[in-house]
Chain A
Amino acid sequence: MKIAITSKRLNYRYQIECADKGIVGVYGISGSGKSSLLDAIAGYHEDRLGIVEYNNKELKGIIKCCYMSQHPILFAHWTVEENLQFALTHASQNSKDKDQLVQRLGCEKLLKMYPNQLSGGEKQRIAFVRALLQIEENSLVLLDEPFSALDKKMRKIALDLLEQYKQSCLILLVTHEIAELYQVADALLYLKNSTVSYQNSIEMAMASGHDSLPVASTVTIDGQPRIVFAEDVSIALQKHPESSISYQLESDITALQTQTNVTLVKLSYSNEEQFIYARLMTDSIKKLNLFAGKKVFACFKCSNFMD
Chain B
Amino acid sequence: MMSIDLTSLWLSFKLATITVIILLIVGIPLAKWLAFSKHKSVPFVTSIVVLPLVLPPTVLGFYLLGLMRNDSWLGSLFIQLTDSQLIFSFTGLVIASVVYSLPFVVQPMVNTFNNIGEDTVKTAQSIGADKRTIFWKIILPLSKKGIISASILGFVHTLGEFGVVLMVGGNIPNQTRVVSIEIFNHVENLELQQANQLSLILLVISFAVILWMNFNNKNTPILT
Partner-B contacts on A (CB < 8 A): 42, 44, 46, 62-67, 69, 72-73, 75-77, 86-87, 90-91, 130, 134
Contact = CB atoms under 8 A, between A and B. Distances in A.
B72 interface: no
B125 interface: yes
Contact of A73 (B38, B119, B128): B119
A126 to B, nearest CB: 13
A90 B129 CA distance: 7
Contact of A62 (B38, B126, B137, B142): B126
A65 B126 contact: yes
Q: Is the interface of A mostly helix, strand, loop or mixed?
A: loop
A146 to B, nearest CB: 14
A90 B127 contact: yes
A73 B120 contact: yes
Interface string B96-131: 000000000000000000000001101111111100
Given A67-B126, A76-B142, A87-B127, 10 more contacts: A64-B126, A64-B127, A75-B120, A75-B124, A77-B144, A86-B129, A90-B127, A90-B128, A134-B127, A134-B128
Interface of B: 38, 119-120, 122-129, 137-138, 141-142, 144
A62 B122 contact: yes
- Of the listed residues B38, B126, B128, B142, the one surrounded by the most CB atoms of chain A closer than 10 A to its CB is B126
Contacts of B142: 75-77
Contact of A75 (B122, B126, B138): B138
Contacts of A69: 119, 123
Contact of A77 (B122, B125, B141): B141
Contacts of B127: 64, 86-87, 90, 130, 134
19 contacts: A44-B122, A46-B38, A62-B126, A64-B125, A64-B126, A65-B126, A67-B126, A69-B119, A72-B123, A73-B123, A75-B120, A75-B123, A75-B138, A77-B141, A77-B144, A86-B129, A87-B127, A90-B127, A134-B128
